[in-house]
Structure 1
């Protein structure tokens, strides 16, 4: 009934680089978040290698993300029997949300609430208003299921890489050098472009897709 792709994801924490869960895993509880996917081009991957190398020279060993996306929800816990009504509610709420393009180019350092992981991210500079509209639609479903809504003043971003622990201070020492790699990239400043044509919801090992409505030319 719902288009989805099934990813085989292991629950062995030893295979996740020592990352710490922000909530206890229990049978029947599914970690769930809503996001826009980013499909990187070769230019982005080359820049990312330069950024990781520069950070490494400052003693910060970052691991690149396995996949890249922009979150429009927090990670919440769904019971298995909530998945179908939850995704139905999301689909209905997103029915009239239109496609758009957003871009990012400013590096920022993020740390999770538990201070167990630090991220290097690229913050959105255009498309903020459209992203807020998506958040409002997603938040309505979260509220319906009594789950946490998104942050009040969100810093929309695509996470590029991460490391275990809180290395915010070390990252701040080299962030300007990393930003210069972005700004002076080959033929000019690199701008990450996100074609927002569909929203996705990852819950456990399932991915649900919600195509956004094309803009109609008048």
Structure 2
């Protein structure tokens, strides 16, 4: 459909005025007619023509169907850089449309004993002047957070799946508290470091790193401290956290019937890219 053109009937009316116009009382119809034509000519500038054409295009443009918007939420989702809306957290990299924050991890599903211990740890830290916020979810990372373009997500996850094809599931455990701070020094974390299963985790990191390298992305740390982050606070409070770390560790070691050990069944590796999550079951 062509847009921005007058209909043929309108063109004919302009090109063929009434051959027998009827004069109006007072005999001034010809003079008024001439004035109207002059005004139309003055207003018929190139700029005016362009504005009229744009108005016609705008009125004929159809809205995007809702089903299509739902297929590509990252293209229409409004992003905010207001850290107050995220508990004071600051992005490690600026958000750009089409860029998806991506990382590989094992999920940890907490049990009742873990939740009770975490409440005790947060209360003890608060007594030392450190207000920690509990993690919204718990996981063990096997990659850094990298940026993927939307069209890379499918080939990236397919390549990752192929690399994990023969990896075996296993179990790891953690029980030693440790303080971590991100590279930008904008957040401090209380984590529980892995004590068993370290070798198997390193094997998986090698697989993940190969995929990262193929896509020219950052690989994992050279000497990783595998851990599950428990809680966090804004800013670099490493010093304050370490001052009370001994007392927090005592709560772990003397928890109820004996030292608490976080057990993580590493059966299903996951990759999260933006709001999409991909799962890779390991072999028995």
> Cα–Cα, structure 1 residues 58 and 103, in superposed 2: closer, same or farther, change >3 Å?
same
Does the 8 A contact of 2:79 with 2:95 survive in 1? Answer: no
> Cα–Cα, structure 1 residues 51 and 11, in superposed 2: closer, same or farther, change >3 Å?
farther
1:61-101 per-position Cα deviation (integer Å, ceiling 9, x unaligned): 00000000000000000000000000000000000110000
Does the 8 A contact of 2:179 with 2:241 survive in 1? Answer: yes
- Structure with the greater alpha carbon radius of gyration: 2
Q: Distance in 1 between matches of 2:273 and 2:86?
A: 18
Query: Per-residue deviation at 1:14?
Result: 3.3
Structure number with higher strand proportion: 1
Query: Per-residue deviation at 1:11?
Result: 4.1
Aligned to 1:5: none
Q: Distance in 1 between matches of 2:125 and 2:84?
A: 25
Out of 150, 156, 159, the position equivalent to 1:86 is 156
Q: Distance in 2 between matches of 1:18 and 1:29?
A: 22
Aligned to 2:217: 147
State the TM-score, normalizing by the size of structure 1.
0.93
Out of 90, 96, 103, the position equivalent to 2:173 is 103
Count of matched residue positions in the alignment of Structure 1 and Structure 2: 207
Does the 8 A contact of 2:271 with 2:279 survive in 1? Answer: yes
Question: What secondary structure is seen at the aligned counterpart in 2 of 1:24?
Answer: coil
Q: Distance in 2 between matches of 1:11 and 1:51?
A: 34
Q: Distance in 2 between matches of 1:15 and 1:117?
A: 16
State the TM-score, normalizing by the size of structure 2.
0.72
> Cα–Cα, structure 1 residues 10 and 191, in superposed 2: closer, same or farther, change >3 Å?
farther
Aligned to 2:44: none
> Cα–Cα, structure 1 residues 58 and 50, in superposed 2: closer, same or farther, change >3 Å?
same
Q: Distance in 2 between matches of 1:154 and 1:71?
A: 10
Question: What secondary structure is seen at the aligned counterpart in 1 of 2:244?
Answer: helix
Alignment of 1:41-190 (within 5 A): 41-190=111-260
For the aligned residue pairs, the C-alpha RMSD in angstroms reads 1.3
Does the 8 A contact of 2:106 with 2:266 survive in 1? Answer: yes
Relative contact order higher in (CA < 8 Å, ≥ 6 apart): 1
Q: Distance in 1 between matches of 2:132 and 2:211?
A: 34
Give 5+ residue unaligned stretches, structure 2. Answer: 1-73
Question: What secondary structure is seen at the aligned counterpart in 2 of 1:91?
Answer: helix
Q: Distance in 1 between matches of 2:217 and 2:84?
A: 29
Structure number with higher helix proportion: 2
